[in-house]
Amino acid sequence: MAASRAHAPRVDQNIPVGHGISARQALLVLGMHRSGTSALTRVLGLAGATLPRHKMAPADDNALGFWEPQPIVDAHDRFLKKAGTGWEAIADYPAAIFTSDEAAACRKSLIALVAGEYGDASLFILKDPRISRLMPLWRPVLDELGIAPRIVIMVRNPLEICSSLKARSGWSEHRAMLVWLRYMLAAERDTRDLPRCFVGYTQLMRDWRGTVARLSNRLGIAFPERGTTVEQRIDGFIRPDLRHHRHRADTLLGRADIADCIKQAYRCFSAAIETGTVDHAALDRIAGALDEAEATLERMVQGNARPITMRAVRARPAQPDAGDTLTALMLAEIEQAGDIATQSQRLLNEMRATWSWRLTKPFRALGRTVGRLFGK
């Protein structure tokens, strides 16, 4: 069964702000990694929404902080690992993983973690890009806690995300775009019946005041902290020099080597920023085509009785025509294999350059000799 057909989308075009009224609200900031979710989370935190107690530590690629709860991120990764997948998977998550015993155990853990990270806060921010693909895991958790979800979906030009992932993790372009597409399709599909707002990264960086005002109006949220001091702190945080990757929308849309499904999805999400409405039919067609391409590729691989090889990675054309979804998916899978091989070789080279590796070289040689003597 194709993945998105297993995930039946919840359909509703106009959700009233009062939908699911609760004494407590959670702002779920969704979107692909490197799409600006950290920046928005920090802005909303300065505006008065509660941030988690145990935040992920800043890193070289995000010195101003991620603002996401480290214990919850760890719980997500454990769940995905047990399900045989990961946050970077190109394929959609099978619906069955959300009805498993592991999912039930994870939900129980998440209930305790929410209490530990946010206490009894009436308005808090739950941010981890993984949640974009884990809403079926989270919705029962929030229901049981009596917390009303309010959804914010970050939209950023996929070319900028590709550049950022290339700089941070060495990801190739087609791979990054297909993962971006999966994140965005899942985030949109699994929140259709919830109050939500689409926020553009460019708009946030240009006019954070207008962005917060529009978000507040669409979600019916009054942020408790406003005033000159707060605005000055946010002005100091949202600085143009911190935006390292810039690409025009027409650059993305004009490139013949980028799949049509990527361009069409970006058009849909860009329109949603301004109008608040989404072309569900168009996005469902994209998801269906992607599922069909995945099924076709799986049959091709099984028919050949071998996985995609490194020879295929080296032989791929420099400027392919990826306007077709199957071609784009094949390129993404090939690039993923190449990225992993490159990273593994780099880590091996770094390990071999360490003093510990050099000092233990005689012991490794002795171990091989003993193994040969004893037939091991």
Residue 97 in this model has a pLDDT that exceeds 70: yes
pLDDT at 166 over 50: yes
Per the structure, the complete domain to which residue 120 belongs is given by: 22-279
Q: Is 375 left (phi over 0), alpha (psi -120 to 50) or beta?
A: left
With 60 as the cut, is the pLDDT of residue 109 above it? yes
Model pLDDT for residues 348-359, shown as the tens digit of each residue: 666 666 666 456
Helices then strands, each counted (H, E), the chain: 17, 4
> Which residues sit opposite 266 in a β-bridge?
none
Structure-block tokens of residue 27: 């702002």
Query: Structure tokens of 364?
Result: 């490794």
Q: What's the pLDDT score for residue 299?
A: 80
Structural domain contains residue 151:
yes
Residue 285 lies in a domain: no
Q: Is residue 319 part of a domain?
A: no
DSSP states of 190-244? TTTTS-EEEEEHHHHHH-HHHHHHHHHHHHT---S--SHHHHHHHHHHS-GGG--
Please report whether residue 219 resides in a domain.
yes
Instruction: Give CA separation, 59 vs 62, 170, 238, 340, in Å.
Output: 5, 16, 18, 21
Is residue 302 situated within a structural domain?
A: no
Of 71-80, 152-161, 288-297, the least confident: 288-297
Name the pairing type of β-strands 123-127 and 147-155. Answer: unpaired
Q: How many CB atoms lie within 10 A of CB 264?
A: 18
- What is the Cα–Cα distance from 341 to 226, expressed in whole angstroms? 49
> The CATH number of the domain where 267 resides is what?
3.40.50
Which pLDDT score, from 0 to 100, does residue 61 have?
A: 63
Torsion of CA 206, 211, 213, 215, to 10 degrees: 180
Helices 173-189, 158-169: axis angle to 10 degrees equals 120
In a domain, 40, yes or no: yes
The verdict on residue 291 lying in a domain is no
Q: Report pLDDT digits (tens) over 11-68.
A: 554 455 555 456 899 999 999 998 999 999 999 999 999 999 999 887 766 656 678 9
Find the range with the poorest average confidence among 186-190, 229-233, 304-308.
Answer: 304-308
Split into its structural domains, the chain has a count of: 1
What predicted TM-score, i.e. pTM, was given to this entire model? 0.80
- Provide the mean pLDDT of the chain: 82
The DSSP call for residue 32 is -
* 1 within domain boundaries: no
Residue 72: pLDDT over 60:
yes
